[in-house]
Structure 1
């Protein structure tokens, strides 16, 4: 969908910048979380971030909003 709307990069760039900021502090924290929960190294820091964001949204009751009118 993002490719059709031309927004593919607009939502990834802030995440990419956040992962690189402060000498990669967020990236290192996500890798630390991955290690703490016993996930394999094949799971990327971005995927860890994705799951944490999804879990946070779900706990706030935001999952209904993500259906985009389906």
Structure 2
């Protein structure tokens, strides 16, 4: 599937959807508990996953200028 907005492949969508549904929605429930602990009930579980992945990548330097030069 190709995004109509950015013309990028969206091959990541199904694996994320499957991960959120696996094990009776264990990841989804975990994300909801993290959201509650963070006190931000207005954002979705998917957005929580996005923020956590971004924070982890930033902490490891993924996407930094040094990382792009590798």
Interval of TM-score (by shorter of Structure 1 and Structure 2)? 0.7 to 0.9
Structure with the higher helix share, 1 or 2: 1
Q: Residue 47 of structure 1 corresponds to which residue in structure 2?
A: 47
The residue correspondences of 1:1-70 to structure 2 (distance < 5 A) are 3=3, 4-5=7-8, 7-8=9-10, 10-40=11-41, 42-64=42-64
CA deviation digits over 1:16-68, x for unaligned, max 9?
A: 0000000000000000000011112x200000000000000000001327xx8
Distance 1:27 1:63 in 2: 26
> Larger relative contact order (C-alpha < 8 A, sep ≥ 6)?
1
Q: After TM superposition, what 4+ stretches of structure 1 lie above 2 angstroms from structure 2?
A: none
Instruction: Specify every segment of 5 or more residues in structure 1 that has no aligned partner in the other structure, as ranges.
Output: none
Which TM-score applies when normalising by structure 1?
Answer: 0.79
Which TM-score applies when normalising by structure 2?
Answer: 0.79
Question: How many pairs were matched up?
Answer: 62
Distance 1:46 1:56 in 2: 15
